């Protein structure tokens, strides 16, 4: 794994339920082609840089794609198409090698790990590294669908961690004042079922270890090719999971950090070894990569470069992070603001707000939004939320003429 350089503790995801791997992008309401633009820019600046994206989300306009979509038994794309009917059906729960029997989320996929999509994604990335044009720079997007529900890894990863040996203490649910009807509906679909958490976490750990193993294989190949020390490596996730906290599973609109605060690790030349609490957003990944490569960042790119944090020239860049969540299923629109001290969000359809003091209440148990003592702060944060929302309006398509 990539633990040799910098780790961001406060990376905020833009839209946690997007389900896609394309997390280097503009904000959800803007045009989402930033990653493809990165490929074009690197290609132009590197005299024909060869590109390879091994990802769970389609990236049109790139040289080569090996597409893996979905998770577990509902995976699809190039991996699925390459399997025999028998191997494809081995992902299904009815063909499970082992079944927890506890709920719809946990079983052991009956496919040999050598044929599993996590292994094949690593295989394709390693093949690209070996076969690349060594006279050119390269860019590879190696995206693993796991860990993710359903928690159904193959052996030996399924049995690697035993539920009964886990020490699990989830954050209990707090009934918020004047909760809207939306909350009841949300807990019906995302609420934690009794007696299931430890088993889910154990299998989730197994999935993490399987991905960790395959990332290690890719890094080993970089070292075998003698390019590891000259390669910028970025490890991150598109979203987290409630994983039992606040009585919830999976991910969606309620503003708890288990979903919105995600791991981000950087490794490579020009990056200092450190762990930082500086605020960082996934929208910053693209301009940071371009800045590290000394490529001019286009004006229409959203986000800021974190290069000066990576090389310890500055302690932090951002005063806050802004995020968006639009959910058509629940007809809900949520906007978030994270500062060093506070976590603020507002649900515009059901007209409900959250404010947490993250220094005093890191578990987000005490909602201060409706406390009269915080009225002034709530108003200040609303103004800042409006500023950030306006700031993130897209500039594209560009205005080509005027009356």
363: exposed, middle or buried (Cβ count in 10 Å: 0-12, 13-18, 19+):
middle
Number of domains in the chain: 1
pLDDT digits (tens, 9 = 90+) for 238-260: 888 888 888 888 887 888 888 88
Band (22; pLDDT cuts 50, 70, 90): very low
Residue 334 lies in a domain: no
d(CA 215, CA 217): 5
Model confidence pLDDT, tens digit, residues 88-109: 999 999 888 888 777 668 999 9
How far is residue 375's CA from residue 187's CA, in Å, rounded to a whole number?
Answer: 28
Identify whether 167 is part of a domain.
Answer: yes
> What is the Cα–Cα distance from 104 to 100, expressed in whole angstroms?
9
Q: Is residue 346 part of a domain?
A: no
Q: What is the CATH number of the domain that holds 89?
A: 3.40.720.10
Residue 349 in domain: no
Reported as a single tens digit per residue, the pLDDT across 134-189 is 998 888 989 999 999 899 999 999 999 998 888 888 878 877 777 777 777 777 77
Q: For residues 293 and 301, is the Cβ–Cβ distance under 8 A?
A: no
pLDDT at 33: 43
Pairing relationship of beta strands 98-99 and 50-55 according to DSSP bridges: unpaired
| Residue 329, domain member (yes or no) | no
Give me the domain span that covers residue 301: 6-318
Question: Is residue 74 domain-resident?
Answer: yes
Mean pLDDT lowest among 36-45, 94-103, 113-122: 36-45
Domain for residue 255, yes or no? yes
Residue 365 lies in a domain: no
pLDDT score recorded for residue 310: 93
Per-residue pLDDT reduced to its tens digit, 41-83: 444 444 444 444 454 445 555 678 888 989 989 899 889 999 9
* Token pair recorded at residue 94: 């009815």
Which residues pair with residue 354 across a beta bridge? 345
């Amino acid at each position: 794994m990539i633990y040799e350089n910098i780790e961001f503790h406060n990376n905020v995801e833009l839209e946690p339920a997007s389900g896609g791997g394309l997390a280097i992008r503009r904000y959800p309401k803007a045009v989402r082609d930033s990653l493809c633009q990165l490929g074009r820019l690197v290609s132009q600046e590197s005299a024909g840089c060869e590109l390879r994206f091994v990802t769970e989300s389609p990236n049109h306009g790139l040289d080569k794609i090996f597409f893996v979509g979905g998770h577990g038994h509902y995976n699809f794309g190039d991996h699925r198409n390459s399997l025999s009917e028998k191997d494809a059906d081995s992902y299904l729960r009815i063909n499970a090698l082992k079944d927890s029997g506890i709920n719809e989320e946990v079983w052991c996929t009956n496919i040999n790990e050598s044929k599993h999509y996590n292994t094949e994604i690593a295989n394709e990335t390693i093949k690209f590294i070996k076969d690349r044009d060594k006279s050119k720079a390269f860019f590879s997007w190696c995206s693993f669908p796991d860990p993710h529900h359903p928690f159904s890894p193959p052996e030996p990863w399924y049995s690697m961690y035993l539920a009964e040996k886990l020490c699990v203490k989830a954050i209990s649910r707090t009934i918020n004042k004047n909760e809207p009807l939306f909350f009841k509906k949300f807990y019906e679909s995302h609420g934690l079922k009794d007696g299931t958490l430890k088993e889910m976490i154990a299998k989730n750990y197994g999935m993490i270890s399987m991905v960790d193993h395959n990332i290690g294989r890719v890094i080993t190949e970089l070292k075998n090719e003698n390019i590891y020390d000259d390669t910028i490596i970025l490890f991150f996730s598109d979203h987290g999971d409630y994983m039992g906290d606040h009585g919830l599973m999976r991910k969606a609109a309620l503003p708890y950090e288990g979903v919105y605060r995600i791991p981000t690790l950087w490794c490579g030349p020009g990056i200092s070894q450190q762990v930082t609490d500086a605020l960082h957003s996934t929208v910053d990944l693209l301009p940071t990569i371009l800045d590290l490569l000394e490529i001019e960042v286009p004006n229409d790119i959203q986000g800021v470069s974190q290069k000066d944090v990576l090389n310890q020239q500055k302690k932090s860049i951002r005063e806050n992070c802004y995020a968006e969540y639009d959910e058509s299923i629940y007809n809900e629109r949520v906007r978030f603001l994270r500062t060093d001290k506070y976590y603020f969000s507002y649900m515009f359809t059901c007209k409900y707000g959250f404010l947490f003091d993250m220094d005093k209440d890191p578990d987000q148990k005490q909602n201060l939004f409706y406390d009269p003592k915080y009225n002034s702060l709530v108003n200040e944060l609303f103004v800042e939320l409006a500023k950030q929302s306006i700031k993130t309006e897209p500039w594209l398509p560009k205005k080509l003429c005027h009356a």
